[in-house]
Amino acid sequence: MSAPRHFIDLWRMQPATLRLILDDAHRRKAARKGWPKAKVDADAPGRDRTLAMVFEKNSTRTRFSFDAAIRQLGGAGVIATAADMQLGRGEPVEDTAKVLSRMVDAVMIRANRHDDVERFAAVSSVPVINGLTDASHPCQIMADLLTIEEHRGPVTGKTIAWVGDGNNVCASFLHAAALLGFKLAIACPDAYRPAKADLERAGASATISADPRGAVAGADVVVTDTWVSMGDKDKDARMAAFDAFQVDDALMNRAAQEAVFLHCLPAHRGEEVSEAVLDGPRSLIWDEAENRIHAQKSVLAWCFGAIG
Ligand code: CP
Ligand code: NVA
């Protein structure tokens, strides 16, 4: 039996595979324009497949978008929180993976610890998809890249400015930068930089400073995220450290004239982003949220071996 196609971190993927997934997502989205949300795509690449969705942390977008995705592919979904599973009472990750492998065709996991997803995948005989960990959020970045391309054309050659926390979402942007040929200009406080290994994965595609004005200068896309991610314990220190990192109109005005704004959500108006930017004309946040469905459908289609 061939090894399952896991989707855990973008840096492990082939550039051609990421391109294929994005192209499939563009096509699939266009083909179902105006359709009811639960209507199955014509080729139904998820027919006869079941996706398990396991959540150790809260979620709105990831939960509903994966559920919509598997339905639109013609398959079925099962959602569970880890707390409701024996996993929440200490059953080993490996035992859970072996059991689910007998019952479903793919597993999406949102986990506190990245290592738990790696451990799950190491023994799973079905594809495992990372639905966010403390270390990365690859599905979010696939949706973000889809959104950028819809509005501004190919992401290759673009400059994306990341302003704020060097967190899990920032890490997945770093993982994609060199593979897809975009520049990532990061501005974050010194204490909240991304991991060295993630910066190294981006190589010359990334720059890093503590200067938001410099990072956004001429950028095609400006992105931020919450200053306090799920699991972060140092809220007060973070609020102080990020005080000068809010994306507001003055900052957006330093970006390219046609620059767009992205945020994975949930957002905190008046903290990492001003209300005027988040709800303003340069913001693509609602398309970005919807694109979680379209990007993940193509990730699933790849995991199932229906594309690529
Ligand atoms: N952006 C994102 O992953 O949202 P949820 O936490 O609501 O899934
Ligand atoms: N960085 C955020 C993303 C939420 C989708 C978190 O991990 O909480």
Q: 67-115 pLDDT, tens per residue?
A: 999 999 999 999 999 999 999 999 999 999 999 999 999 999 999 999 9
Where residue 145 falls among pLDDT bands split at 50, 70, 90? very high
Q: How far apart are CA 133 and CA 160, in angstroms?
A: 22
Q: In what helix (H) or strand (E) does residue 18 lie, and over which residues does it extend?
A: helix 15-31
User: Is the C-beta atom of 13 inside 6 A of ligand 2?
Assistant: no
Highest CATH level, class, for 138-288: alpha beta
- The answer, yes or no, to whether the previous bond of 154 is cis (omega within 30 of 0) is no
Find how far residue 203's CA is from the centre of its chain.
20
Q: In what helix (H) or strand (E) does residue 123 lie, and over which residues does it extend?
A: helix 114-123
- Tell me whether residue 238 is one of the annotated catalytic residues: no
The one-letter amino acid at 56: E
Cβ neighbours for 49, distance < 8 A, ≥ 6 positions apart: 70, 73, 74, 75, 76, 105, 106, 304
Which pairing describes strands 221-224 and 260-263: parallel, antiparallel, or unpaired? parallel
- Mean pLDDT for all residues in the chain: 98
Per-residue DSSP letter, 189: -
- Tell me whether residue 110 is one of the annotated catalytic residues: yes
* pLDDT at residue 1, rounded to an integer: 65
Out of 71, 238, 292, 294, the active site residue is: 292
Out of 170, 264, 294, 296, the active site residue is: 264
* pLDDT at residue 252, rounded to an integer: 98
C-beta separation of 301 from 148 below 8 A: no
**Protein residue with its CA nearest to atom 7 in ligand 2:** 229
Q: How far apart are CA 33 and CA 51, in angstroms?
A: 24
- Tell me whether residue 257 is one of the annotated catalytic residues: no
Which pairing describes strands 50-55 and 76-81: parallel, antiparallel, or unpaired? parallel
Q: What is the mean pLDDT of residues 172-178?
A: 98
Q: Which of 195, 227, 232, 197 is nearest to 212 (CA)?
A: 227
Could you tell me what percent of the chain has a pLDDT over 90? 99
Burial category of 155 from C-beta neighbours within 10 Å (exposed 0-12, middle 13-18, buried 19 and up): buried
- Cα-to-centroid distance, 61 and ligand 1 (Å): 4
Out of 49, 114, 225, 263, the active site residue is: 225
Whether the predicted pLDDT of 129 surpasses 90: yes
- Residue 35, sorted as left (phi over 0), alpha (psi -120 to 50) or beta, turns out to be beta
Range 10-137+292-303 classified under CATH 3.40.30.10: no
The tens digit of pLDDT for each residue in 113-123 reads 999 999 999 99
The one-letter amino acid at 261: F
* Domain spans, the chain: 10-137+292-303, 138-288
* pLDDT at residue 2, rounded to an integer: 85
Q: What is the mean pLDDT of residues 36-54?
A: 98
- Cα-to-centroid distance, 89 and ligand 2 (Å): 25
Q: How many CB atoms lie within 10 A of CB 257?
A: 6
Comparing 10-137+292-303 with 138-288, is the CATH topology the same?
yes
- Tell me whether residue 264 is one of the annotated catalytic residues: yes
- Tell me whether residue 225 is one of the annotated catalytic residues: yes
- Tell me whether residue 137 is one of the annotated catalytic residues: yes
**Protein residue with its CA nearest to atom 6 in ligand 2:** 229
Task: With 0.95 as the threshold, say if the pTM is over it.
Answer: yes
Residue 232 alpha carbon, nearest atom of ligand 2: 8
User: Is the C-beta atom of 205 inside 6 A of ligand 2?
Assistant: no
Q: How far apart are CA 25 and CA 140, in angstroms?
A: 13
* pLDDT at residue 223, rounded to an integer: 99
Whether the predicted pLDDT of 230 surpasses 80: yes
User: What's the chain's length in residues?
Assistant: 308
